[in-house]
Amino acid sequence: MKRISLAFLSLFLCVASVWAMPRPEYPRPQFERADWVNLNGEWTYSFDFGGSGMEREFYKSNGFNDKITVPFCPESKLSGVGYTDFINHFWYQRPITIPQEWNGKNILLNFGAVYYKSEVYVDGVLANRHFGGTSSFAVDITSLVKPGQTHSLVVYVESDLRGAKQAGGKQNLQYASYGCNYTRTTGIWQTVWMEAVHPEGLQSVQVLTDIGQQQLVVRPRFYKEQGGKLQVTLKDNGKVVANQTVSASSLSSVVLPVKKMKTWSPESPFLYDLEYKVLDKNGNIVDEVKGYAGMRKVHIEGNKIYLNNKPYYQRLVLDQGFYPDGIWTAPSDEALKRDIELSMEAGFNGARLHQKVFEERFYYWADKMGYLTWGEASSWGMDCNDTETARNFITEWSEIVQRDRNHPSLLIWTPTNEEFWPDRVQYPRLMHDLYNLTKLIDPTRPFHGASGGTHIATDIWTVHNYEQDPAKLKDKLYNGGKLMEAPKWEIHLMPMNIGYNGLKYTDQYAFPEYRKDMPYLVDEFGGIKWNPAQQTESAQNTSWGYGEPPRSLEEFYTRLEGQVDAVLSLSNDIWGYCYTQLTDVEQEQNGIYYYDRTPKFDMKRIHAIFSKTPESK
């Protein structure tokens, strides 16, 4: 009886520890291994305001004096720190114990995201250096640790947000939040975890869904190729649909025929389960990964976006992905799911994920719930004319595309937002590089270079317009049969030097104009400022939004419906919209919901407005 009680107590304490751990769920649901250790929770930390931590050998630390809760950034309340001034240098430390049963396997230390530059040390030895604040990365620490032993893990973080060489998104460049710029995020802001992987294990997969030929194609990559096999199984609610075994080689392609295919769409978000098994030369399973896939196709014909070969009108909402207590980090997995539920309850069928790379768990819920998404980088704050900045951004963007390209809910890639740079050499060069790189990594989606900005290389044409009067909005979007152009700079003839003989010639770069040969969307409009207290002068001075706020709630509904109707009435030429925005964010008060996600309006009326389609208007 005593043994049973002790066993029960041990199980209870184990379950309780999981419940107490922040963000305990596996962070990579499309590529999931069973053998992993979540490193979220209590770490120690130290500020390094003078940047002298290296001289003081902080990388050798066995523990700093203060404590922080990971994966929440030090600016957030949930981290337990709540320091909101600029943080240029920051150090983390925690012990890590390597399970004895991991002997003989490669031990990977995974970071969902660390803003911005990070260095990882194990027992004072540099294991990895990473640039990019929103992309995931893995560090192989096998040579630095021993199974059954405990080691000191130190992570050093640098961020120079004002230096204009790193993408910052909506992080504000002043001390305090202002306008549509908000509290900063520094350091670890997504889950950190360890996992054991066989040396011949699966490194990644690219999943290509071919609904035209009724098949699914998997392109694998391996850590090491030793003549083994890869077995891929596709299941429909536990029933095997297709199974294929090929050589465990990065040159192999696995082709799975899918009879009576069930396609993925917002109306029917069906997901097939995928199982990957790596077998050695003797037929033993050495690595096993679980994932899923949604069979769908997105493409462009003329001025429309098609989903599964049918024109699909997108009614999107701008989602900033900020939280009052976690800033860039959702307080829970349920909070990610709830944001999608709130958007759908408001009548939207998707979201433009704005100026932030959302974590994979958000895409997981979007995949499961049938919610369209546009993937966007946090491009604001960087100088696109600077070549070092371009290199930083291109590297980070390539990692973003590779991480998220298998998610069926993600329809469009958008690397930048509102780029109006007057430079006629480096900016066009960057846009063309991003276009070509993205198409190489993922040829299955349209590329949308600069949302509402100066379009150089793009498959989609977008504009932003916050005109508050519905009639004037319609006129500005469609004036005399001519669609509104994205803002652009005047480009003049300029001399340029070439070669070594001093020869000069004149050159001119003309930014493209819209020719009605691609989809045209209004991917930012509305932004109607509303707060019940905004009639007071103090509220007017402390909040921000677009235009003059309505004088009454009824006037709000009238203006909102008028704006939506104005866009819908132009559906022969405008094929979708994105309304600003899902929630208030700090001082910006133009959300459909308050910052704490409680409703601001009669949601039945809101849903009736945003669920309209060009046919139902």
pLDDT in tens, 370-411: 999 999 999 999 998 899 999 999 999 999 999 999 999 999
Beta strand extents in 48-198 (DSSP E only): 66-70, 89-97, 106-111, 114-115, 117-122, 125-130, 137-140, 150-158, 187-188, 192-197
Same domain, 163 and 234: no
Residue range 159-163: average pLDDT? 96
Task: Give the pLDDT confidence score for residue 495 in this predicted structure.
Answer: 36
Same domain, 440 and 510: yes
pLDDT category at 423 given cuts 50, 70, 90 is: confident
Q: Which residues of 150-166 are buried (b: 16+ CB within 10 A; e: fewer)?
A: ebbbbbbbbbebeeebb
C-beta separation of 133 from 104 below 8 A: no
Task: Give the pLDDT confidence score for residue 438 in this predicted structure.
Answer: 98
Give φ, ψ of 306 to 5 degrees: -110, 140
pLDDT in tens, 210-240: 999 999 999 999 999 988 999 999 999 999 9
Q: Report DSSP state, residue 386.
A: -
pLDDT category at 425 given cuts 50, 70, 90 is: confident
Q: Which of 12-16, 388-392, 462-466 has the lowest mean pLDDT?
A: 12-16
Residue range 495-520: average pLDDT? 59
**pLDDT above 50 for 492:** no
pLDDT category at 540 given cuts 50, 70, 90 is: low
Among 170, 197, 224, where does a domain finish?
Answer: 197
Residue 526: which of 303, 317, 246 has the closest Cα? 317
Residue range 517-541: average pLDDT? 81
Residue 10 forms part of a structural domain: no
- For residue 179, give the H/E element and its range: none
pLDDT in tens, 26-67: 999 999 999 999 999 999 999 999 999 999 999 999 999 999
Give φ, ψ of 387 to 5 degrees: -70, -35
User: Which has the higher per-residue pLDDT, 579 or 547?
Assistant: 579
Task: Give the pLDDT confidence score for residue 344 in this predicted structure.
Answer: 98
C-beta separation of 169 from 85 below 8 A: no
Contacts of 353 (CB under 8 A, 6+ apart): 319, 321, 362, 373, 374, 375, 376
Residue 264: which domain range? 202-293
CATH classification of the domain holding 206: 2.60.40.10
Task: Give the pLDDT confidence score for residue 535 in this predicted structure.
Answer: 55
Among 197, 215, 245, where does a domain finish?
Answer: 197
Task: Give the pLDDT confidence score for residue 512 in this predicted structure.
Answer: 79
Number of domains in the chain: 3
**Which amino acid, residue 455?**
H
Same domain, 31 and 122: yes
Tell me the pTM. 0.93
**pLDDT above 70 for 422:** no
Residue 325 forms part of a structural domain: yes
Residue range 243-270: average pLDDT? 96
Same domain, 512 and 385: yes
CATH classification of the domain holding 319: 3.20.20.80
Same domain, 238 and 274: yes
Residue 14 forms part of a structural domain: no
Same domain, 396 and 450: yes
**pLDDT above 50 for 610:** yes
Same domain, 131 and 257: no
Residue 61 forms part of a structural domain: yes
Same domain, 517 and 402: yes
Residue range 476-490: average pLDDT? 76
Residue 11 forms part of a structural domain: no
Partners of 193 in the β-ladder: 38, 110
Residue 12 forms part of a structural domain: no
Among 197, 214, 249, where does a domain finish?
Answer: 197
Residue range 589-599: average pLDDT? 97
pLDDT category at 617 given cuts 50, 70, 90 is: low
Task: Give the pLDDT confidence score for residue 348 in this predicted structure.
Answer: 98
For the chain, what percent of residues have pLDDT higher than 90?
84
Same domain, 139 and 229: no
Task: Give the pLDDT confidence score for residue 515 in this predicted structure.
Answer: 82
* Angstrom distance (rounded) from CA 467 to CA 557: 16
**pLDDT above 90 for 488:** no
Partners of 506 in the β-ladder: 495
Same domain, 354 and 491: yes
* Angstrom distance (rounded) from CA 513 to CA 493: 19
Same domain, 415 and 561: yes
Residue 9 forms part of a structural domain: no
Contacts of 601 (CB under 8 A, 6+ apart): 530, 553, 556, 557, 592
pLDDT category at 485 given cuts 50, 70, 90 is: confident
CATH classification of the domain holding 193: 2.60.120.260
pLDDT in tens, 273-291: 999 999 999 999 999 999 9
Residue 413 forms part of a structural domain: yes
Task: Give the pLDDT confidence score for residue 9 in this predicted structure.
Answer: 45
* Angstrom distance (rounded) from CA 580 to CA 450: 17
Same domain, 286 and 208: yes
Mean pLDDT of the chain: 92
Residue range 564-581: average pLDDT? 96
- DSSP reduced 3-state for 603: helix
If you write DSSP's letter for every residue of 9-74 in order, what string do you get? Answer: HHHHHHHHHHHHSSS-S-S-TTSB-SSEEE--EEEEEEE-TTS-TTTTTGGG-S--SEEEEETS-T
